[in-house]
Structure 1
Amino acid sequence: MTDTSARAMRGDIRLGRVLSIALPVGLAILLVTLWWVSAALAQSAVLPTPATALDRLTANLQGQRFRQSIGDTLYRLAIAYVGVVVIGAALGFAVGLSKFWSDALSPVLYAIYSVPKIVLFPLFLVFLGLTDASQIAFAFFSGVLPMVIMVINATAGVPRLPLKLAASVNMPTWAVVRKIVFPSVLPALASALRLTFGLTFLGLLIGEMFAGVSGLGYELLRNIPLGRLGDITGEVALILVIALVPVTALSILEKRIKNRYSPVEG
């Protein structure tokens, strides 16, 4: 590789990194602009402007209870998502290594996943009550099934040729898993990390709405019957910001892993 091509490649990498950050930020700015224009044209109390939402959010952030709700949501989300990543990835990887268990469990997991999650939430209330445990468990349940399914499919779909070559030279099982299977699964795992974060967060907000006495989901639902539209839109904007930061970071991680471990076509 010549110096010119190397510099061009580094330039492309830097450009890709810049775009990965600039595009979400630009989209956010565009959406806020459209929101502002729509509110100004409507001139209705039903649709507050971004300035009104920001004012109400700033006022709410002054309150100890609202800040505690943010902390409670972040705490529950961290526990649920770590559980999704660790347990879901490990279980999916273990099941995917066995063709028998992969074929046997995949239809069951797909059937459970097809059931609307909100239908199952009363079961969490019955067994865990109106506690943090029920909300964390429901958030975990919302994210762990897709994590398991995606990792199972990725593990079971490892190309056969490298595995046959490894078997022909009597490569130890652990070496096959470490050098062939795991690198092949990493791109799908990176995608699962990004997708399941949003599903876990959504499950947590639903749990807080129905069973919480604190948290952003609880704060959001509490303001609906009171008709506090400025508070509602401000809290929705805050939720979007909280989600955007880790999702952007996970998207960057996903792109880097895919660039490194995805097979080259052609």
Structure 2
Amino acid sequence: MTSATRRVPGVAAPRPRPALRRLLEPAVAPLLLLVAFLLVWHVAAVALDSTVFPTPLEAAATLVADLGSSAYLAAVAETLLVLLGSYALAVVIGSLLGFLIGLSTFWSDVLSPLIYAVYSIPKITLYPLFLVFLGLGDVGRIGFAFLHGVIPMLLIVLGATASVDRTHLKLAASLRLTTPQLVRRIVVPSIVPSAVTGLRLAFGLTFLGLLIAELLGGSAGLGGELLRNVQLVRMGNIVGEVILITIIALVPTVLLLRLEHRATARFAGRATDAAPAL
């Protein structure tokens, strides 16, 4: 028995927490914050006593009514499908380009400043180009959403790949490891936590780009529905749709954040541990 596991006389061993408690504990603080926000919102709506400022229950009721419409459900499904396609393209292309560029010190130094310069351009100023060349349909929306997500994903993976410990790479070269062995044992364990962070950030930015494209186009998806509600000054529907958009954005983000924590805990130090075992 090791000293870490040896029981101290007279001191009871700590009992493991139930699995359900471990699962629910991280959600307690966010739920309390949500309840506090809803209470403040309700009190403010009642105090203002305005016909254009709904209470949480009124906003939820309008959202439920909207979701009962087949046209509204079709708009939600259309946005989700375009979001899924745009996000998948941004993740795959951004990861591959970032990984390939990051493997070369020369190309990392040459291309990184150019990519950061492009990323600093406000994307909204590029929308007319997408409108002219790609139109208002799914292709234009996918392209604009893709642009918002691919560059952050590329830069994060590029930075993680370029910052892999060069000592480990030199050790691998001296041991004549093949390229697949080098990638599997050194590079991938080093970049996985950053790549998962890129997944989380790219999702939110891709969704943002898609909503902007739908709002400016005003013809399809949740953005089109939101624009019509704004034009008709239907505040209950507007707030209800904002709630729906928040849920769509929040659920994958929370799941990706949990995946990020697990990846960091699992892969932190993996490359360092693997180097002596080469």
TM-score of the aligned structures, taking structure 2 as reference length: 0.88
Any idea what the Cα deviations from partners look like across 1:173-223, whole Å, max 9, x if unmatched?
A: 221111101110001001111111100001000111112422111111111
Mapped partners of 1:71, 1:93: distance in 2: 33
- Structure with the bigger percentage of helix: 1
Q: Is the 8 A contact 1:135 1:212 kept in 2?
A: no
Q: Aligned partners of 1:18 and 1:172: how far apart in 2?
A: 45
8 Å CA contact retained: 1:88, 1:147: yes
Alignment-derived partner of residue 246 in structure 1? 252
Greater displacement, 160-169 / 86-95: 160-169
Q: Deviations over 1:112-154 (max 9, x none)?
A: 1111111101110010111111011100110000100111000
Q: Residue 126 of structure 1 corresponds to which residue in structure 2?
A: 132
- Counterparts of 1:52 and 1:227, CA distance in 2: 15
What CA RMSD, in Å, does the superposition of the two structures yield over aligned residues? 2.3
1:216 match: 222
Q: 69, 72, 76: which one pairs with 1:66?
A: 72
Alignment-derived partner of residue 93 in structure 2? 87
16 and 152 in structure 1: CA distance in 2 versus 1, 3 angstrom threshold: farther
> How do 1:155-170 residues align onto structure 2 when only pairs under 5 Å count?
155-170=161-176
Q: Within 1, Cα distance between the matches of 2:231 and 2:134?
A: 27
CA contact (8 A) 1:131 1:212 kept: no
Structure 2: where are the runs of 5+ without partners?
A: 8-12, 273-278
In structure 2, the partner of 1:101 is 107
Rounded to whole Å, the distance in 2 between the matches of 1:248 and 1:138 is 24
Once residues 201 and 253 of structure 1 are traced to their aligned partners in structure 2, the CA distance between those partners, rounded to angstroms, is 19
Which AA in structure 1 matches 2:209? G
How many pairs align? 263
Compute the displacement of 1:101 (Å).
1.1
Contact 2:95 2:157 survives alignment (8 Å): yes
Name the CA distance, whole Å, in 2 between partners of 1:84 and 1:15: 37
2:35 is aligned to 29
Distance 1:180 1:17 in 2: 33
- Shift of the 253–208 alpha-carbon distance from structure 1 to 2, 3 Å rule, reads same
Letter matched to residue 158 of structure 2:
I
What displacement does 1:160 show?
Answer: 1.7
Q: Unaligned 5+ residue runs, structure 1?
A: none
Contact 1:21-1:248 at 8 Å conserved across structures: no
CA distance 1:181–1:17, change in 2 (3 Å):
farther
Q: Distance in 2 between matches of 1:170 and 1:184?
A: 20
Cα distance in 2 for partners of 1:9, 1:181 equals 39
- Say yes or no: does 1:2 pair with 2:5: yes
8 Å Cα contact 1:154/1:188 also seen in 2: yes
* Residue identity (%): 47
- Asked whether the 8 Å contact 2:52–2:236 carries over to 1, the reply is no
Distance 1:23 1:179, change over 3 A: farther
1:82–1:21 Cα change, 3 Å = farther
